[in-house]
Structure 1
């Protein structure tokens, strides 16, 4: 089974999602998307798989979002895609792709929706928050 994470190691949410994937028993393909951005075709495919318009994947904080005028609601999807490809920091992360689907793992526990084994048991995020990622049945 192939799991791919479009990862930024400087992002706690991305690190938490990666740790959850590993705790589930999988070792994903890690693509540091700032160093190796997705192609135009791959970005379109990821958006389609998430049923998400390009604007919904735009990251604002810590990016050239404002300087590029990306807050203009009249900008086309093509313009937004071009901006994300030219400035990969504009792509929100982490994106996780598995045979079960593709998610923007924000919050990081959203990755559980596409993992083949989401039964992690208790998982402690970097900030100390405990996620009960078990699927225990009610008794």
Structure 2
């Protein structure tokens, strides 16, 4: 079972989901803007992605630029910013067992599943 953190308004996320639909893989869609991940869920995602919190942030997002960009923030503060503003989370994210990827490039998605 593959879990996809999906934003229907994002073209990369829609492309990734379309590929999953054609792949005949079992998958679950998490519309993370409607059901934002908790702090523990983001920590788990980061572990599966093998990334630091800042690497999961969409740093060109308006909220980030206006509210957080020039602040000195530790990892916990960055995670709290993503919990409060899930639009900041990179997408799509695919999770399979204990591994995850940011599925912005279809060739990486193909290799992952």
Give the TM-score of the pair, scaled to structure 1: 0.75
Structure 2 residue 42 is the aligned partner of structure 1 residue 81: no
Task: Say which one has the larger Rg.
Answer: 1
Looking at structure 1, the residues matched to 39 and 106 of structure 2 have their Cα atoms a distance apart, in angstroms, of 25
Cα deviation, residue 20, structure 1: 1.2
* Count of paired positions: 113
Identify if the C-alpha distance between structure 1 residues 109 and 66 changes in structure 2 by more than 3 Å, giving closer, same or farther. Answer: same
Q: Which secondary structure state, in structure 2, belongs to the residue aligned with residue 67 of structure 1?
A: helix
Q: Which has the higher contact order (CA 8 A, sep 6+)?
A: 2
Unaligned runs of 5+ in 1: 116-139
2:20 matched residue in structure 1:
21
Q: CA RMSD in A?
A: 1.5
Unaligned runs of 5+ in 2: none
2:37 matched residue in structure 1:
38
Structure 2 residue 51 is the aligned partner of structure 1 residue 52: yes
Structure 2 residue 102 is the aligned partner of structure 1 residue 104: yes
- Looking at secondary structure, tell me which structure has more helix per residue: 2
Cα deviation, residue 25, structure 1: 0.6
